[in-house]
Amino acid sequence: MTDADEQPGPAGRSEVVRALGVLTPAQRRIIMLTYWDGLAVGEIAELLRASEFRVRKTLGVAQNRLRDELGLEGLITGDD
């Protein structure tokens, strides 16, 4: 397996794992539930017994922190 094989996208797997380490446990859990488990915000809110607003806000903050950490600012649609 070469380094090129580890590239799931613009950032390598090891970079993503490192970037996840900058998130709070709550942010990391919501990211994992969203992207790894494929749950919708409403499902996550129900699972965590939190409001959809809180889940959506935490997800947005976590996504922004990951983009910053991975140097992906401006590469994601909707970014300025």
Evaluated on CA atoms 23, 28, 30, 35, the torsion sign reads positive
Rounded to an integer, the average pLDDT of 3-13 is 56
Looking at the predicted structure, is the pLDDT value of residue 6 above 80?
A: no
Q: How far apart are CA 72 and CA 37, in angstroms?
A: 23
What pLDDT, in 10s, does the model give residues 27-64? 999 999 999 999 999 999 999 999 999 999 999 999 99
Short-list 56, 57, 70, CA closest to 22: 70
The length of the chain, given as a count of residues: 80
Looking at the predicted structure, is the pLDDT value of residue 78 above 70?
A: no
Q: How far apart are CA 29 and CA 18, in angstroms?
A: 15
Residue pointed to by tokens 């935490």: 58
